Amino acid sequence: MKNMIFSEKRIYKAVAFVAAALISCAFFLSGCGNENKDALNKDNSQEITNNVTSENVQYTQSTDDTNTSENVVLTYSKVDREDVSISPFYLELEAEDGKIEGSLTIGSSRAGFSGSGYVTNFNQSKGNLWTMNFEVNEEGFYKFTVYTSANEHKINALNVNGVNVGSFTDDSKKFTATVFDGIFLNKGENVVSVTEQWGWFDLDKVVIENSTALSNDYYNGISSELANKNADDKTRRIMEYLVSIYGNHTLTGQYCDNGKNTEIDAIYEATGKYPAVRGFDFIFMSPNSGYKNNSELDRAKEWAKTGGLVSFSWHWHSPVGATEFYTDSTDFKLRKAVSNLELANKSAKEIKTMYENGELREEQYRLIADIDIISFYMKQLQNEGITILWRPLHEASGGWFWWGADGKDNYIWLWQFMFTRQTEYHKLNNLIWVWNGQDNERYP
């Protein structure tokens, strides 16, 4: 699908290269101050400027209700990225030289270790902990490589300065490396530790070195062209803005408890500012949801009127069966809804007739009906000139949601069907499509 924005590439860098920092990281936008809301109360036709950073990056939106889709002004003063030079750094921490607690001991019977031994007996005993202090001369981002071994599949955790930075998996029966890149360290003393999740592994060493800088090629040449060639003017301008700041600024935002403002208000109380993007969810607007609540629409409209950007996800309760979206809680199978028929542009009446005549299975009929109902809600936002950062069918490769648990081909079919149905049949031209399928083999 041409130039659809995607949110992840399959690389191990934990540092902020999420290919869709363009938009999916619109979930991290910052800077709508409360003064904007005060201004709205005084004059509903004046322009409101959200200062995203101190370097004159601005998102400006007219609040004139008569023509909201046309009066969007997006300005950005480009800031040259500094060429930061960090001295070469390389340090090997042999596990046997660290501090061991609980039942941990030093072993030497497993082949392939470095140094004089390795730490073993991670047997899930209370108090098991390995730690080691080290120093760096400069603050910055570093890469950690952990060498471990286990006789069967085990998952355990790496911690830096008391923060869990990720998990490593073992099952090779020999010492293998797991890389954690982009970990920020303060100048001076730091501490690395390994804690058990499943336990039953051996720890050989931890290597710390400079992170490999991301090439500027990741940030250059990004197109602002949207997948929907009929996207409205406001939506295209927002996309152009997101592309213009890519690689120079990170924009912050917040999800909130469904239909409430609790988290947003807490952020303002602590910082004096509101995020510029807020994430919403159609979770309780799914037809098969056991609980119905449309208040997210009202909150989204309110947020847009203050100049904020709106993002929506959809925790989609399975169209048929149990009112669940988790794979292990529903027996709904996406493969039963997949069809080779040209259905995306048929009217709701035609779809219903086909179902009643036995030409469509219930899974197919209900899935299309669900998309139509959510599209109806999205059309309300389009009618009010509100652009949506639309992030459907997320986290598919994990398999924990039903839309990702039935193979990549069925997932791709569903994504493409939804795109065509919403873009061509429902004519939703206010969407910036955000792909969060995680695995690039699932890119539609």
Q: Looking at residue 421, what DSSP letter applies?
A: I
Check residue 196 and give its pLDDT.
Answer: 96
Burial readout 221-245 (b: 16 or more C-beta within 10 A, e: otherwise): ebebebbbeebbebbbbbbebbbbb
Q: Is the dihedral of CA 16, 18, 21, 23 positive or negative?
A: negative
Cα atoms in the 13 Å half-sphere on the side-chain side of 172: 13
Tokens representing residue 216 in the block: 């500027």
Record the pTM: 0.66
CA dihedral of 192, 198, 203, 207, whole degrees rounded to 10: -40
Residues 206 and 234 sit within 8 Å (Cβ to Cβ)? no
Burial class (CB in 10 A: 0-12, 13-18, 19+), 216: exposed
pLDDT in tens, 26-43: 343 333 333 333 322 333
Residues 18 and 10 sit within 8 Å (Cβ to Cβ)? no
Check residue 85 and give its pLDDT.
Answer: 53
In 3-state terms, the chain is what percent helix, strand and coil (to 5)? 30, 25, 45
Check residue 86 and give its pLDDT.
Answer: 61
Pairing mode, strands 129-136 and 99-101: antiparallel
Check residue 1 and give its pLDDT.
Answer: 54
Which residue is associated with the tokens 């409360």? 34
pLDDT in tens, 107-147: 999 999 999 999 999 999 999 999 999 999 999 999 999 99
Residues 132 and 97 sit within 8 Å (Cβ to Cβ)? yes
Which ranges of the chain have pLDDT less than 70? 1-86
Q: Looking at residue 235, what DSSP letter applies?
A: H
- Stated length of the chain: 444
